[in-house]
Structure 1
Amino acid sequence: MATGTIVTGRRVLLPGSPEPGPATITIDPLGKITSVEGACRTRDATSDHHVKWVDAKDNIVIPGLVDAHVHLNEPGRTDWEGFWTGTRAAAAGGVCTVVDMPLNSIPPTCTVANLDLKRAAARNQCFTDVAFWGGVIPGNQSHLKPLVDAGVKGFKCFLIESGVEEFPCVSELDAKAAMENIQHSSTVLLFHAEFDSSPADPPQPAEPSTMYQTFLASRPQKLETDAISLIIQLQRSYPSLRCHIVHLSAASALPLIRAAKSSGVNLTVETCFHYLCLSANDIPSGHPEFKCCPPIRENVNRELLWDALLDGSIDCVVSDHSPCITELKKMDEGDIMGAWGGISTLGLGLSLLWTEGSKRGVTLAQVIDWISKKTAEHAGLGEVKGQLKVGYDGDFVIWDPSAEFTVTKDLLQFKNKLSPYEGLTLRGRVQQTFVRGSLVYDIDSGFESRPSGRLL
Structure 2
Amino acid sequence: MPDFDTVIRSTRVVVPEGIEAADVTVREGRIEAVLPYRSITEGPGPRIIDLGDRALLPGAVDLGTGVHAPGEELADSYHRAGSAALRGGVTCLVVSPAPARPAITCADSLQVHQRAAAGSPVAIAFLGGVNQGAGPLELADLQAGGVVAFQASLSDGGAPDMAALSDSGLRKAMVQIATLDSLLIVHAEDSAELGTPAVSAEQRPPRAERRGLERVFSAARVVGARTHIAPFTAAECAALLSAAEAAGVELGAHTCPHYLCLPSEFPGPDSPVHGCRPPLRSDANRKALWSALLEPGSALATIGSGHLPAIGLYTLRWSLSALWTAARRRNLTLSHLARWTAQSPADLLGLARGRIQPGFEADLVAFDDEATTLVPENDPGPYAGMRLTGRVTRVWVAGRETHS
Matches within 5 A, 1:98-177: 98-123=93-118, 125-141=119-135, 142-162=137-157, 164-177=159-172
- Does the C-alpha gap of structure 1 residues 261 and 323 become closer, same or farther in structure 2, counting only changes over 3 Å? same
- Does the C-alpha gap of structure 1 residues 278 and 150 become closer, same or farther in structure 2, counting only changes over 3 Å? same
Alignment match, 1:237: 222
Q: Distance in 1 between matches of 2:197 and 2:96?
A: 32
**8 Å CA contact retained: 1:100, 1:130:** yes
Alignment match, 1:23: 22
Q: Deviations 1:138-162 (Å, cap 9, x if unpaired)?
A: 2122301121122211111111124
Structure 2, unpaired ranges of 5+: none
State the shift of 1:167 in Å. 2.6
Q: So what's the TM-score if we normalise by structure 2?
A: 0.93
Q: Distance in 1 between matches of 2:197 and 2:116?
A: 41
Q: Deviations 1:373-427 (Å, cap 9, x if unpaired)?
A: 001112221xx101111111111111111000011268xxxxxx51110110001
Q: Distance in 2 between matches of 1:159 and 1:34?
A: 43
1:126 maps to a residue whose letter is S
Of residues 323, 328, 332 in structure 2, which corresponds to 1:353?
323
Of residues 414, 420, 423 in structure 1, which corresponds to 2:382?
420
- Does the C-alpha gap of structure 1 residues 80 and 122 become closer, same or farther in structure 2, counting only changes over 3 Å? closer
**8 Å CA contact retained: 2:257, 2:323:** yes
Q: Distance in 1 between matches of 2:279 and 2:32?
A: 44
Alignment match, 1:451: none
Q: Deviations 1:162-208 (Å, cap 9, x if unpaired)?
A: 46422322211211221222222221111101003367xx5789xxx
Alignment match, 1:319: 305
Aligned length: 399
Secondary structure at the aligned position of 2:143 is classed as: helix
Q: Distance in 2 between matches of 1:65 and 1:356?
A: 17
2:149 maps to a residue whose letter is G
Q: Distance in 2 between matches of 1:84 and 1:287?
A: 25
Q: Distance in 2 between matches of 1:21 and 1:61?
A: 10
Alignment match, 1:67: 62
Question: Is 1:429 the counterpart of 2:397 in the alignment?
Answer: no
Alignment match, 1:334: none
State the shift of 1:81 in Å. 6.8
**8 Å CA contact retained: 2:99, 2:160:** no
Question: Is 1:248 the counterpart of 2:248 in the alignment?
Answer: no
Q: Distance in 2 between matches of 1:378 and 1:100?
A: 15
**8 Å CA contact retained: 2:70, 2:309:** no
Q: Distance in 2 between matches of 1:27 and 1:75?
A: 39
State the shift of 1:75 in Å. 9.9
State the shift of 1:264 in Å. 1.2
Q: So what's the TM-score if we normalise by structure 1?
A: 0.83
- Does the C-alpha gap of structure 1 residues 103 and 196 become closer, same or farther in structure 2, counting only changes over 3 Å? closer
Secondary structure at the aligned position of 1:315 is classed as: strand
State the shift of 1:43 in Å. 4.2
**8 Å CA contact retained: 2:75, 2:117:** no
Q: Distance in 2 between matches of 1:204 and 1:24?
A: 55
Q: Deviations 1:256-281 (Å, cap 9, x if unpaired)?
A: 11111122111110011110010012
Alignment match, 1:92: 87
Indicate the structure (1 or 2) with the bigger Cα radius of gyration: 1
Percent identity, aligned pairs only, is: 29
Q: Distance in 1 between matches of 2:339 and 2:368?
A: 18
Structure 1, unpaired ranges of 5+: 206-213, 325-339, 411-416, 442-446, 448-456
**8 Å CA contact retained: 2:313, 2:381:** yes
**8 Å CA contact retained: 1:65, 1:97:** yes
Alignment match, 1:219: 204
Q: Distance in 1 between matches of 2:375 and 2:358?
A: 36
Secondary structure at the aligned position of 1:423 is classed as: coil
Q: Distance in 1 between matches of 2:278 and 2:398?
A: 35
**8 Å CA contact retained: 1:72, 1:82:** yes
Task: Return the structure number with greater helix share.
Answer: 2
Secondary structure at the aligned position of 1:130 is classed as: strand
Q: Distance in 1 between matches of 2:130 and 2:398?
A: 32
State the shift of 1:288 in Å. 4.1
Question: Is 1:365 the counterpart of 2:342 in the alignment?
Answer: no
Secondary structure at the aligned position of 1:280 is classed as: coil
Q: Distance in 2 between matches of 1:185 and 1:162?
A: 24
Q: Distance in 1 between matches of 2:388 and 2:70?
A: 33
Alignment match, 1:450: none
- Does the C-alpha gap of structure 1 residues 80 and 301 become closer, same or farther in structure 2, counting only changes over 3 Å? farther
